[in-house]
Structure 1
Amino acid sequence: MRLIGLKNCDTCRKALKSLAVAGQIPDVIDVRVDGIPAADIAAIVGIFGDKAVNRASTTWRGLSDAEKEGDPATLIAAHPTLLKRPAIERDGAWTIGWKADVQAKYLGA
């Protein structure tokens, strides 16, 4: 299991804490420190399309209108903090965010 996120993201911290309590310790990829592998960006955008972009982020608000119209994979590659977080991969399957449906998948709730 891998979790792609930010160490200072509240949602990512909640996810990591909940996963640890459930006995699941993912490998963590911090987008600011480690970046996001191109293959992972391609897989995430291939599944979620433009929903993979976090439009509530400070980074998004700082983009020009022209940049906001760009390809999601290109945007995330150029600005890794635009990835909706956390992105979790387990056994080749991806989820994004930490809403009830994602929590149920990983925590069995």
Structure 2
Amino acid sequence: MKIHGINSCDTCRKARRWLGEQGIEATWVDLRADGVVRADLERWLDAVGAEALVNRRSTTWRELPENERPAMEPEAVLPVLEAHPTLIKRPVFERAGEVRVGFTPAVRDWLTA
């Protein structure tokens, strides 16, 4: 399993701590330090859609000028997420070809299934 996020994100830290407590091993990928691979973004957009993947509550979103905020079509979102990986809702979990975003009870249930 991989978990993609940002080291300074409280939710990511909470998720990583919880994974450790559950004995679930995961490879950490820091979106800010490591960047994001276009193929990953395409896969995530296909799996969960732009509405779920773009964090419109983020500081990065609020700081983007209105004319740079993408429409929620994958073609429009993809280059913006590549340029601003902190716009990605976090954490992003990948396991066995499946993708989940966030750290909700439903995601925790999926992680332990």
Scaled by the length of structure 2, the TM-score of the pair is: 0.90
The residue correspondences of 1:75-86 to structure 2 (distance < 5 A) are: 75-86=80-91
Q: Which runs of 4+ in 1 moved over 3 A?
A: none
Partner Cα separation in structure 1 for residue 111 and residue 104 of structure 2: 11
Q: Secondary structure at the match of 1:43?
A: helix
In structure 1, the gaps of 5 or more residues are: none
Q: Is the 8 A contact 1:16 1:25 kept in 2?
A: no
What 5-or-longer segments of structure 2 have no aligned partner? Answer: none
How much is the aligned-residue C-alpha RMSD, in angstroms? Answer: 1.1
Measure, in 2, the Cα distance between the counterparts of 1:81 and 1:15.
Answer: 17
Relative to the length of structure 1, the TM-score reads 0.93
Provide the rounded CA distance (Å) in 1 between the counterparts of 2:102 and 2:93: 8
Number of residue equivalences: 108
Q: Which has the higher helix share?
A: 2
Residue 104 (structure 2) aligns with: 99
> Which deviations, in whole Å up to 9, do the C-alpha atoms of 1:44-87 show, x marking residues without a partner?
11122222000111000011112113422121111001011000
Say yes or no: does 1:48 pair with 2:48.
yes
Map 1:51-70 onto structure 2 (within 5 A). 51-70=52-71
